[in-house]
């Protein structure tokens, strides 16, 4: 008897290993001058020493940490761990000088190259895709107020059960992922479904930390976006829903007041609609 693979049989290790593979493909370049590496590595290691001294960390705790760190790698959960607990501060520093739309973290489940559409589109989804329909529309302009036609609005989000295509079995490849190119006025309309609150995979090493520390594994319902246009800085963002569960208590600490949507019932009676405009800083 073979077990049927559906998104709801997804395991932390399987989605973790996809995220690890994807990240390794990305290719990474950073300033790796001796001075910079020396400074950052010395400070990080020094910060750990400080925690050990202050809390009188025991050998048992040190060995438990070692075992846990090894397990994070075996479960492929380094992308998850880093994006949940570290990335929001990197994003804060990277975007502190922007004048345009605020950003938020990318997270571990972005896939480049999603299907492209012109101006108004429905994200790829199953015929019986569960969830409340959502029309997400708006305009992309530059900080000088100029409409940006031909801008790319890339959206990806989890389905109504909290699973991302390409990171859970049984979902169509590009389910709930797409790139909409703005019209001459910089406008776009994206038809999708409203995502549900999302629990990060918790049957692996990250879940072990969460339960050992008495935390919860939830992120508020969110839409992921990347918006870009020639001669402008790409913004990676996430949008949330007013009054939604965990908006004030996101495990990834990636919510900002300006990123909270308040959808209203759609004019045509099918689900909800909301307008959100993006302002891009010059490159
Ligand atoms: C997600 O969907 C996500 O957006 C982040 C930041 C971490 C884990 C899962
Ligand atoms: Fe997400």
Neighbours of ion ligand 2 (CB under 5 A): 107
pLDDT at 12: 78
Nearest CA to ligand 1 atom 5: 107
- What spacing in Å lies between the alpha carbon of 200 and ligand 1's midpoint? 7
Tokens of 16: 């973790």
pLDDT at 200: 92
pTM of the shown model: 0.93
Nearest CA to ligand 1 atom 9: 200
Strand order in the sheet with 116-118: 116-118, 177-181, 152-156, 223-228, 235-241, 260-261
Residues with CB under 6 A from ligand 1: 80, 83-84, 105, 107-109, 198, 200, 219, 252, 254
Q: Is the dihedral of CA 21, 203, 177, 222 positive or negative?
A: negative
**Separation between Cα atoms, residue 106 and residue 89, nearest integer Å:** 12
Q: Among 155, 219, 255, which is best to mutate for testing ligand 1, by the most ligand atoms less than 8 A from CB?
A: 219
pLDDT at 29: 77
Short-list 77, 89, 66, CA closest to 23: 77
CB 193 within 8 A of CB 67: no
pLDDT less than 50: residues of the chain: 1
pLDDT at 3: 58
pLDDT tens figures, 50-107: 999 999 999 999 999 999 999 999 999 999 999 999 999 999 999 999 999 999 999 9
In the chain, the domains with their CATH numbers are 10-283 (2.60.130.10)
């Amino acid at each position: 008897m073979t077990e049927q693979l559906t998104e709801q049989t997804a395991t932390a290790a399987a989605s973790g290993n996809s995220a690890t593979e994807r990240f390794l493909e990305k290719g990474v370049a950073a300033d790796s001058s001796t001075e910079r590496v020396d400074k950052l590595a010395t400070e990080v290691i020094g910060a750990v020493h400080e925690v050990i001294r202050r809390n009188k960390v025991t050998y048992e705790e040190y060995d438990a940490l070692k075992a846990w760190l090894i397990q994070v790698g075996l479960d492929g959960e380094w992308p998850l761990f880093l994006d949940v607990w570290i990335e929001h501060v990197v994003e804060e520093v990277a975007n502190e000088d922007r004048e345009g739309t605020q950003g938020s973290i990318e997270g571990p489940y972005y896939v480049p190259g999603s299907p492209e559409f012109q101006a108004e589109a429905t994200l790829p989804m199953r015929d019986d895709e569960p969830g409340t329909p959502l029309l997400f529309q708006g305009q992309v302009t530059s900080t000088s107020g100029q409409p940006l036609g031909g801008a790319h609005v890339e959206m990806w989000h989890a389905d109504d059960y909290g699973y991302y295509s390409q990171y859970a079995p049984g979902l169509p490849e590009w389910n709930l992922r797409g790139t909409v190119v703005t019209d001459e006025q910089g406008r776009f309309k994206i038809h999708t479904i409203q995502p549900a609150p999302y629990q990060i995979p918790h049957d692996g090493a990250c879940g072990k930390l969460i339960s050992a520390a008495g935390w919860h594994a939830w992120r508020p319902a969110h839409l992921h976006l990347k918006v870009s246009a020639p001669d402008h800085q790409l913004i990676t963002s996430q949008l949330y829903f007013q009054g939604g569960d965990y908006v004030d208590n996101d495990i990834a600490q990636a919510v900002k007041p300006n990123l909270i949507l308040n959808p209203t019932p759609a004019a045509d009676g099918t689900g909800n609609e909301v307008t959100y405009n993006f302002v891009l800083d010059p490159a």
